[in-house]
């Protein structure tokens, strides 16, 4: 026997069904929504360059950051400006696959009046993109941001450079980390190793310290 459902009851049942589906979708969305981005500070004790000039490594207490070396940065570090450089690190981000991106801005300060023909290399090396600030104390030439890209690895073995290879002090760099739910490569062995003679290496290529006159972090 067929039963006829009154229209009013049919509409009520349909509304309940739609409501339950909506609640289910909302609950499902809440369950899969990733956590918000987090910001953390890493204490950098050393910055080192591979012998083949293809990698630059930042040594943090918790992580190693291994970046591909930008050609622009090699040109500047190979110049006579290297001992005079000040470096500013900013916009460092850790993406869900643990790729790390950021920018480095380099600057040189010279005493007022000393920026003459003998210092033209400052402009040559930092050109074409520079900014000049002139005041009573100094002339400051700043490069535009040089983008770097690499990966973060957990420093599970606690590998650190020798004291003689470290910066003059520890510098704090702020990073913004994107959340992820995947098992990540950062928990694999870091490619940074310490050889038996104490020399640091990345992918078995020796590392040498980079010494900046000063480092700022944003």
pLDDT band at 127 (very low <50, low <70, confident <90, very high): low
| Shared domain check, 22 and 81 | no
Q: Do 3 and 53 have their domain in common? A: no
Residues 51 and 74 in one domain: yes
Q: In this predicted structure, what is the pLDDT of residue 116?
A: 53
Does the structure show a pLDDT above 70 at 118? no
What is the model's pLDDT at position 26? 46
Place 72 in a pLDDT band, splitting at 50, 70 and 90: confident
Residues 27 and 83 in one domain: no
Token pair for 28 = 């499902």
Share of the chain above pLDDT 70, in %: 61
Beta strands 138-143 and 205-209: pairing type? unpaired
Q: Does 89 score more than 70 pLDDT? A: yes
User: Is the per-residue pLDDT at 117 higher than 60?
Assistant: no
Find the range with the poorest average confidence among 30-34, 93-97, 140-144, 195-199: 30-34
Q: Are residues 98 and 23 in the same domain?
A: no
Report d(CA 48, CA 62) in Å as an integer: 17
Do 67 and 27 share a domain, yes or no? no
- pLDDT, mean over the chain: 74
What is the per-residue pLDDT for 175? 92
**Confidence (pLDDT) at 53:** 93
Question: How many domains is the chain built from?
Answer: 2
Distance CA 31, CA 38 (A): 19
If asked whether residues 49 and 113 sit together in one domain, one would say yes
What secondary structure does DSSP assign to 178-189, as a single string?
Answer: ----S--GGGSP
pLDDT band at 115 (very low <50, low <70, confident <90, very high): low
Q: In the predicted model, is pLDDT for residue 37 greater than 50?
A: yes
Task: Using DSSP bridges, classify how beta strands 55-60 and 99-111 pair: parallel, antiparallel or unpaired.
Answer: unpaired
146 pLDDT band (50/70/90 cuts)?
Answer: confident
The predicted pLDDT at position 13 comes to: 45
44, 23: one domain = no
* Residue 150 reports pLDDT greater than 80: yes
In this predicted structure, what is the pLDDT of residue 121? Answer: 59
**Range of the structural domain that residue 137 is part of:** 38-217
The reply to whether 112 and 150 lie within a common domain is yes
User: Nearest to residue 58, comparing CAs of 17, 18, 104?
Assistant: 104
Average of per-residue pLDDT across 142-157: 85
Read off the DSSP letter of residue 199.
Answer: -
Q: What is the mean pLDDT of residues 183-192?
A: 66
Same structural domain for residues 47 and 28?
A: no
> Model-level pTM greater than 0.75?
no
Mean pLDDT for 171-193 is 75
106 and 72, same structural domain? yes
Residues 131 and 149 both lie in one domain? yes
């Amino acid at each position: 026997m067929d039963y006829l459902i009154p229209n009013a009851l049919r509409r009520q049942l349909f509304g309940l069904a739609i409501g339950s589906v909506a609640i289910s979708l909302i609950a499902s969305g809440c369950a899969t929504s990733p956590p918000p981005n987090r910001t953390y500070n890493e204490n950098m004790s050393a910055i080192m360059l591979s012998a083949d000039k293809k990698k630059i490594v930042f040594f943090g207490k918790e992580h190693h950051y291994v970046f591909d070396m930008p050609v622009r940065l090699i040109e500047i570090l190979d110049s006579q400006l290297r001992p005079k450089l000040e470096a500013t690190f900013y916009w460092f981000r850790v993406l869900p696959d643990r790729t790390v991106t950021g920018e480095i801005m380099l600057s040189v300060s010279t005493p007022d009046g000393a920026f003459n023909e003998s210092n033209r290399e400052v402009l040559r090396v930092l050109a074409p993109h520079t900014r000049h600030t002139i005041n009573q104390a100094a002339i400051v030439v700043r490069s535009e941001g040089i983008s770097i890209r690499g990966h973060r690895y957990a420093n599970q073995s606690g590998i650190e450079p020798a004291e003689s290879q470290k910066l003059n002090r520890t510098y704090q760099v702020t990073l913004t980390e994107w959340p992820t739910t995947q098992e990540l490569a950062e928990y694999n062995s870091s490619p940074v190793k310490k050889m038996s003679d104490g020399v640091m290496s990345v992918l078995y290529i020796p590392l040498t310290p980079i010494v900046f006159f000063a480092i700022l972090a944003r």
